[in-house]
Amino acid sequence: MAMRLVLFDIDGTLVRGGAGGRALRSALLKVYALPAGSDGVRYDGKTDPRIVREILSYHGQEDRFTDEKVSSLFSLYLSYLRKELTEGGDFQVLPGAHELVRTLDRREDFLLGLATGNIEDGARLKLERGGLESFFSFGGFGSDAEDRTDLIRIAIERGRQKNGHSQPEKSFVVGDTPRDIVHGKEAGADTLAVASGNYSLDDLKSYKPDAAVESLQPIEPILEFLSS
Ligand SMILES: [Mg+2]
């Protein structure tokens, strides 16, 4: 049977909340002694390592982006994230996310994966917190590539391997930012934009996704688009 690959972004698409940002800022303060949030760097749509690089670069310290420093930063980030996800109080699974993912998971003709800027362990923690982790066995992550196009390509390749090494009939990227659309297209995927993050439906439409919706709920028009 022909198989279609559906790759989900996480933040602003499946879940929302400030845990990731808070955890990263705490870790930046601890490891680099850099003040939180004064740099104007936007996080959404970017990979975790890219965010760190941009913040360091804002402070004129890009030479501190070393494997050793970045790896201690991210291990600290993960311990802060674990705590923020349980104690933060603002975590939310977005409307329609559970139902859509569960419905696609039951279908033989769809394969679910992730295409997210989160480092993989961070992605797992967020999905676990939302009860979504069992639906995702693979993906492309910020820990695979700093560039979003590259991590989407990696996710598609992993989907191909999961599919008995045969190319998916179509690959879709579902995400809430212009970057999901632009990099999704660049990686050869069809794109579904969802305005549940920080961008409006009109903002997203100006980047010409193949489809755009306000929310993952109702799921019927989305299922129709993914099947068309
Ligand atoms: Mg997002």
Would you say residue 1 has pLDDT above 70? no
Would you say residue 39 has pLDDT above 90? no
130 and 33 within one domain:
no
Cα 1 to ligand 1 centroid, rounded to whole Å: 31
Cα 8 to ligand 1 centroid, rounded to whole Å: 9
Per residue in 64-109, pLDDT (tens digit) is 999 999 999 999 999 999 999 999 889 999 999 999 999 999 999 9
Q: Can you give the residue range of the structural domain that contains 55?
A: 19-87
136 and 60 within one domain:
no
CA gap 43, 51 in Å, rounded: 6
98 and 65 within one domain:
no
125 and 185 within one domain:
yes
Cα 30 to ligand 1 centroid, rounded to whole Å: 26
Burial 115-150 (b: 16+ CB within 10 A, else e): bbbbbbebbbbbbebbebeebbebbbbbbbbbbbbb
Per residue in 98-156, pLDDT (tens digit) is 999 999 999 999 999 999 999 999 999 999 999 999 999 999 999 999 999 999 999 99
162 and 133 within one domain:
yes
User: Which residue, 87, 115, 134, sits at the end of a domain?
Assistant: 87
Strands 139-140, 170-175: pairing is unpaired
199 and 221 within one domain:
yes
167 and 82 within one domain:
no
162 and 142 within one domain:
yes
Strands 211-213, 92-93: pairing is unpaired
Cα 119 to ligand 1 centroid, rounded to whole Å: 13
What is the pLDDT at residue 7? 98
Whole-structure pTM value: 0.97
Vertex 201: Cα angle to 190 and 54 (nearest 5) = 75
- Output the CA–CA distances (angstroms, integers) from residue 43 to 37, 48, 72, 118, 186, in the order listed: 11, 8, 20, 11, 20
105 and 182 within one domain:
yes
10 and 98 within one domain:
yes
Q: Total structural domains in the chain?
A: 2
HSE (CB half, 13 Å, CA atoms) of 14? 29
Computed over every residue of the chain, the mean pLDDT equals: 96
123 and 195 within one domain:
yes
Cα 178 to ligand 1 centroid, rounded to whole Å: 9
98 and 51 within one domain:
no
